[in-house]
Structure 1
């Protein structure tokens, strides 16, 4: 009887060990997907879309002194975001929307709700963008490296828009929608202007809070022949 009990206990232990091993393997595979494969897939999708946008800019490109309308938030990719503090060659495609499907393509999504982002070519307003910090391209993984005085540049078909970072909110609730308002709550700004807001999850590998970076437009430049970038990107 005792021997039979030992056999049963061993069988149960072996089964429990198999379950734990399988569960652990599934966790590892999920982590690999989130932290590696989703980045690969999203980067590929973003690179293809970026190539299509740049190719479209080469078709009957207008002279720099004759700007053309840029796609609105209701259609098309808008341009590129450059943040020198995140790397000399850092760029991310800007696309309308911040839903899961949009951000999964490895882009920076322009908020359309609860406040509509106002792109710089439309004048006064807040151009609020979001991107993943981990997985799906992880474009804003190092956003915590961006601080006051750093440059943020938006590139369109015919112009460069250069912003200076004025403030950072290291942590706030995901429900704090005021940070993307036309005059962002908690920012250094007290009156309407031409602002940019970058948001992502924090701490890294979680979605508990949001990290927010605010900047204001300091100048815009017409696109020179050869798409020569502004000094901040050289």
Structure 2
């Protein structure tokens, strides 16, 4: 009996070990492969769509060029299609070739194929807080280098019609997942004191955990038509 029990325990341990290895491979590699493929596909779809006359998945945001936190671009209500990409995000600090699609929604499936836009937060370029979320690890590790962001770093987005350049205003802020006030139109901890066009970036901390959130805030610096060429923040 003792020998049979020992063999059974050994088999269970081997099975558990194999499952752990498979889960690790899935988390570390396979989710990255599938996410990278999905994100590339979303960007290709957007670029193809933008080349078509009058093609757009979302309402256009009316916004005037902004000079800083105190500027007041025109706000316009926008409803982006849930689960669909509507913009492309570039963060030069994360690498020359780093670019990700921005998807409406922050659910599990949304973040598996893009950076998620918090539904209910401001529209791209509009007055209020344009808030985004991304994975730190797994599903492409899009925000793996989040702690490297520094004040003055540009964050650039395009919706196919305009370029929107935001500028980071502070170092990453650590808080709890329950601190939803970081998504307020004028977040208290951000240092902003008046209405404006702001950007919030959020991700998990520690990299493999969910106990805290890292937050970055920035303000809208400029809005220019894509017909004027790539903005200087991207080497244009």
Give TM-score, length-normalised by structure 1: 0.85
Distance in 2 (alpha carbons) for counterparts of 1:87 and 1:168: 18
Q: Which residue does the alignment assign to 1:69?
A: 60
The counterpart of 1:30, out of the listed 12, 23, 32, is 23
**Which of the numbers 108, 111, 120 marks the counterpart of 2:124?**
120
Structure 2 distance, partners of 1:177, 1:73, is: 21
Instruction: Tell me which residue corresponds to 1:65.
Output: none
Cα deviation for residue 182 of structure 1 reads 0.5
Correspondence for 1:205 among 183, 205, 208: 208
Counterpart-to-counterpart distance in 2, 1:180 and 1:206: 21
Distance 1:109 1:203 in 2: 19
Distance 1:217 1:95 in 2: 20
Counterpart of 1:168 in 2: which secondary structure?
coil
Counterpart residue number, 1:109: 116
1:146-185 equivalences in 2 (<5 Å): 146-185=149-188
* Contact 1:73/1:96 (8 A) holds in 2: no
**Counterpart-to-counterpart distance in 1, 2:186 and 2:78:** 21
- Structure 1: tracts of 5 or more residues without a match: 1-7, 63-67
> Does residue 92 of structure 2 align to residue 96 of structure 1?
no
- Please give the per-residue CA displacement for 1:28-66, whole angstroms capped at 9, x wherever unaligned: 11111112101111111121121111001111279xxxx
Q: Deviations over 1:2-30 (max 9, x none)?
A: xxxxxx43432332222112111101111
Look up the SS of the partner of 1:30 in the other structure: helix
For residues 229 and 10 of structure 1, what CA distance do their matches in structure 2 show?
Answer: 71
Q: Is the 8 A contact 1:77 1:94 kept in 2?
A: yes
RMSD (CA atoms): 2.0
Q: Matches of residues 37-76 of structure 1 in structure 2 within 5 Å? A: 37-60=30-53, 69=60, 72-75=78-81, 76=84
1:133 Cα shift?
A: 1.2
| Residues 147, 172 of structure 2: 8 Å contact kept | no
- Given that 2:149 and 2:172 are in contact with CA atoms closer than 8 Å, whether structure 1 keeps it comes out as no
Contact 1:203–1:209 (CA<8 Å) still a contact in 2?
Answer: yes
Q: Quick one: distance in 2 between partners of 1:17 and 1:143?
A: 42
